[in-house]
Structure 1
Amino acid sequence: MSDKICNSLWRASSPAAPVLAPLEGRVDVEVVIVGAGFTGLSAALHLAKFGISVAVIEAQEVGFGGSGRNVGLANAGVWLEPDQLDNAIGTEAGSIMYKALAAAPEFVYGLIKEYDIQCEPVRNGTLHAGVGKSGLAQLQRRCEQMQKRGAPVQLLDAAEAQVRIGSSKFNSALFDPRAGTIQPLAYARGLAHAALKEGAKLFDQSPVSKIEPADNGWVLHTEKGQVHAEKVMLATNAYSEFGVKEQARKFVPIFYSQLATKPLSEAQLASILPNKEGVWDTCTVMSSFRLDQQGRLVFGGMGGEGSVLSNWATQRVTELFPILSKVQWDYCWTGKIAYSEDHLPHCQQLEKGLFSVAGYSGRGIGPGTVVGAELAEWLSGRRESLSIPTTVLRDISFRELKRLFYEVGAHTYHIGQQSHALD
C-alpha cells in the first residue's frame, strides 16, 4: 500500500507551510501535543490564545497525515445517523455531541476568516447523493432525523439532485447548506501559521521515540531533544507510529485514495457541480467528488493507489459524467482513515495527564477542529467535559483482518464494477 503524498494535488496547490525546525535540546511547556493535524493544531492555537504554554511535535511535516490528504469536505456532524448516535452513547450525550459538531462548519469557516487562511474556502453546501432504494431510504431517515433536531437540510428529488450534481446516476441527494469545501492541506498549514502567531511552539521532523513519566508530568524524547510538560495530548489519529504505536490498536486503518483531473472546460464546469458543492454517495464502498479552485474534478474512493482503483475511477467518472469523454488524471494520492468500532471519535485518558484523541472515521475537518478547541478549554480548566466520548477504548480484536476485509472488499468491488461495465 502506498502512503505517498508526492503526487498530491493539495501539496501542489497549497500555500507554503511555516518554516519549522526539528526539536533540539530541552523545552518546557504546560501542554505538549503529538501530531500537527487539525486536532493538534486547533488545540495548540486555542491553548496559546488562553495563555497556556504549548508545543506541538510532528514526526514528519504539518498536515502529513489525514489532515493533508482528505477530500476537503467541511461537513457537520459524524457518520452515524442522529438516532444511531443517541443509541450509541445515550440521548443526553448524543444531543450534546450532535449540537457541538453540527456547528463545526461555522467554527471552521470562522477561523478561516479570522486568520485569513488561504485554503480555497467555498461554503455552498454539500450533497449526500442517493444510490438505489437503500440509498434513498437512508437519506430519507437522515433528513427526517436532522430536521427534527433543527438542521436546515433539504432532501432533493431525482430531478433536482441530477441537475445539481450534473449526473443522471443518482435518485436523490441530501443538501446541507451549512457545509462546504476547503483545500485541506492549505487549511492545516494555515492553522499552523495561526498557532505560531498566538505563541505556540511547533517542531517538525521530530518523531517521538519514548514517552515516560517525570516529576510533575511527562517527558517526551525525540532523537535530538525532549519536551517536559504537565499534560500530553496524542493527536495522531490513523498515523500512530513511533512512540505512540500502541494507540493504533484502538482503530482500524482504512486506505482512501484520490485522483484529480486536468482542469475542466467551461462547458464541462457549467454541467458538473455548477454550484460547487462537495459530494459523497451512499454506496457501501463510498466514493466522493468535488471541484477545486482551478476547475479540476477531484474523485476519491476506498482503497490504496493502483491500476485497479484508477481504472475503476476512470470508468466510474465517465459513467457519472458522459460529458467527460476522456478522463486524464494529473494527480493521485492516498491517505489513511482511523475507523473506530462505533464510528465515533474518542478522547481517552490513558494515565493522569496523558490523553489520546482519534477515530474520526473519515470526518475529520469539522470535528477535529472543534474537538481541538474543546481540548484546549478542557485542559485549561475552562470546561468540565468534552462533547465526544471519553471512554478508554479496548484494543480492536482481529484488527488486521478487519483492515484486510475493508481493503479486499473495496478491491473486489472496483474489479466487479469494471467487469460489469464491460458486459
Structure 2
Amino acid sequence: MNRLVRRLGTADAVVIGLGSMIGAGVFSAFAPAAAAAGSGLLAGLVIAGVVAYCNASSSAALAARYPTSGGTYVYGRERLGDWWGFTAGWGFVIGKTASCAAMALTVASYVSPAWARPLAVLAVLSFAAVNYFGVTRTARLARVLLVVTLVALGLTLVAVYGGAAGPAPGWTSGGPLGVLQAAGLLFFAFAGYARIATLGEEVRDPERTIPRAIPIALGIAFAVYALVGVGLLASLGPAALAASPAPLADAAQAGGLAWLAPAARVGAVVAGLGALLALLTGIGRTALAMARNSDLPGWLAAVHPRHRVPHHAEIVLAVVVCGLVLTVDLRGAIGFSSFGVLVYYAIANASALTLRALPRWVPVLGLAGCLLLAATLPWQSVVAGLAVFAVGLAGRAVARRS
C-alpha cells in the first residue's frame, strides 16, 4: 500500500516543529533585523509573532480537516482550486529547498569557514540518509538536537543576562518600513510550524494532535525569541547588533561570563542541523503530495516498501540542495525563502477563510500580514521570488496543455 504510517504523537510533532523554528534563525536573524529597524526590531518581532499566530491557527484548522501529507498544497487544492494549491506547493518546495541550503551553509560556516561548502554537502547527505530510514528515527534525532540546542541557548542567555552590564544602548529606529522589513526577516525564524501540518499523514489522531501541537510549539518559540531579542539589544545595542556576524556569541563574549560564549557557537551548529533535518522531512512530504496529483513527476510519489518514506523525493531533494550549497549565496537564499514562505502562508489563510472553524479576523489578518511582509522584503528577494513563481506556473500550464 502506497501510504505513510501514523507513528507520531503530540510530543513528537511539537519537537519537530520546535526543531524547525528554534534553528539557525535565532542565531542569525536578529542582526539583519536590527540593521533594518534598529531597536524597532522588538516591534517587528511582535508583528511577526502575530502573523505567525494567525498562520498557525489557520494551518491547524485546515490540518484537522485534511489530515494528509502536503500542508497548504492540499488545503489550497481542496478549498480554492488546483492552481492555488500548486502555487502554495511550488512556493513551499522551492522556498524551503533554498532554506535547506541556507541552514547547511550556516552550520558549516560556524564549524570551518574555509571548508564551508564541502561540510554543508556532508551535512545534507547525512541528514537525508536519516530521513530515508524512517520518520521515527527523524523524530528521535530531532528530539536530541532540540535538547542540545536549548541547553546551549540557555547557557548563552545566562552569559548575556548574567554578565557585567555595558553602556546603555541608544534607541534607534528604521521607521515603519524598517520595522516591517524586520518582521519579514524574523518571520523566517517562525516558519517551522508548517512542518507539523505537512506530517498530517504520519501523526496519530491528527484531528486533535495537529491543532494541539502547532500553538504549543509556536508559543515556546516566541518566548525564546523574545528573551533573545531583549538580551541582544541590552548587551550590544542596535548598532553593534546590526554589524555582528554572530550576535549571540558576541553578546555572550561582551559580558562577565565570557567563558560561556562557546555555547553560542555550539548551539548555532546544532540548531542549524535540527532545522535542516525538519526541513528535509517537510519538503519530501509536500513533494509526495504534489506528485500524487501529477503536479510533479509521478515517480516522486513512490513510498519505500520497508521504511515507509517518500524515498524518491528524498533523494532528489538531497541532490538539488547539494547543488545549491555549491553555487548559491547565503543571503540570497534566505531572502528568496522568506518570500516563498509568506506566499505559502497567504494561501493557507485564504483557504482557511472558506472554513467556519475560526473567527473570520484570524485568516483575514494572517492573509493581509503575509502579503504586506512579502511586499516589504528587499526588492531583490521580491523580484527573484516573482520570477520563480512565474516559471513554475508557466511550466504547469505548458504541461497541462500538452
Q: Which has the higher helix share?
A: 2
Q: Which has the larger radius of gyration?
A: 1
TM-score, normalised by the number of residues in structure 1: 0.28
Tell me which protein shows more strand as a share of its residues. Answer: 1
Higher relative contact order (CA 8 A, sep 6+): 2
